[in-house]
Amino acid sequence: MYLYLNGEIVTRENARISPFDHGFLYGMGVFETFRIYDGHPFLLDDHLVRLQDGLNELKIKKSVDRAQVMEIINNLLSANGLKQAYVRLNVSAGTGDVGLPTGEYEVPTVLVFMKDIPAVLEEKQANFLQTARNTPEGDIRLKSHHFLNNIYGKREIGNNPNVEGIFLTKEGYLAEGITSNLFWVTGDRLFTPAVQTGILNGVTRNFVIQLAKSIGLNVQEGFYHAEDLLGSDEAFITNSIQEIVPLTDIENHTLRGKKGPVTKKLQYIYSKYRKNLWSKNEITKGI
């Protein structure tokens, strides 16, 4: 595997990051994962907006733009012999003194790597986790290095790739999957937990909301309980690598899975966009 590290293309074995990088010492770093479809990085602009917002929040002085990232991506695609890829773009605070700083980080560490797309399942089951979704460190949840809550959830649910764990907040509201956002359909409405429940505001989540609205669906974001999900007609989870994954059952409550008409329609339209869109704002109404 070849990866990008601070301006150089290096092999995995030769990649070195300082043990005094505050991304390692204190979790000061953010990242994005996205897919390459035939050389096109789907929704890259939306990922870069979220990444930049996170960098600004953590006081990491780094500007990211499409041209810069595309040069890195194209070099890595060539070096690794890939056209379809999973990409992780990571920016950590960089080397600093031991201790908690209050100022800006001036020299961040930039790491980009890619690999083949992992197997994407057509359907999954879901179970509610006993581990509660923790609250964000700040006003909103960043896609940061702080992943212990997710790891606790993964340990609870186990390694079966066919099963996703669903977090509830400590107040009992539906939140999200371990590495996914949650949606369900009841009647003619599409529901998803509000960002204020402490979930990650996923790029694919926002794309699906915009996509659903463009085809006339009534989308509701709010505070919901497990019973709302269990009483739904169909449900699915989303993330940037697996796209839209239907749920066949939740806690032994059977759903339509991949036969759900709303899920199928959203999957179909999603597939039409993924080789050319840079942002959700480019969605054409009523496609």
Taking the C-alpha atoms of residue 166 and residue 155, their distance in angstroms, rounded to an integer, is: 13
| Residue 94 one-letter amino acid | G
User: pLDDT digit of tens for each residue in the chain (287 aa)?
Assistant: 999 999 999 999 999 999 999 999 999 999 999 999 999 999 999 999 999 999 999 999 999 999 999 999 999 999 999 999 999 999 999 999 999 989 999 999 999 999 999 888 899 999 999 999 999 999 999 999 999 999 999 999 999 999 999 999 999 999 999 999 999 999 999 999 999 999 999 999 999 999 999 999 999 999 999 999 999 999 999 999 999 999 999 998 999 888 999 999 999 999 999 999 999 999 975 45
Residues 211-237 as b/e (b if ≥16 CB within 10 A, e otherwise) read bbeeeebeeeeeebebebbbebbbbbb
Of 23, 24, 42, 25, whose CA–CA distance to 33 is shortest?
A: 42
> pTM for this one?
0.95
- CB-CB neighbours of 12 under 10 Å: 9
Residue ranges per structural domain of the chain = 2-115, 124-279
Q: What is the CATH number of domain 124-279?
A: 3.20.10.10
Q: Are the C-beta atoms of 247 and 277 separated by less than 8 Å?
A: no
What topology is assigned to 2-115 in CATH?
A: D-amino Acid Aminotransferase; Chain A, domain 1 (3.30.470)
Contact 188, 218 (CB under 8 A): yes
Q: At which residue do the structure tokens 């359909």 appear?
A: 185
Terminus-to-terminus CA distance in the chain, angstroms? 39
Q: Are the C-beta atoms of residues 127 and 250 closer than 8 Å to each other? A: yes
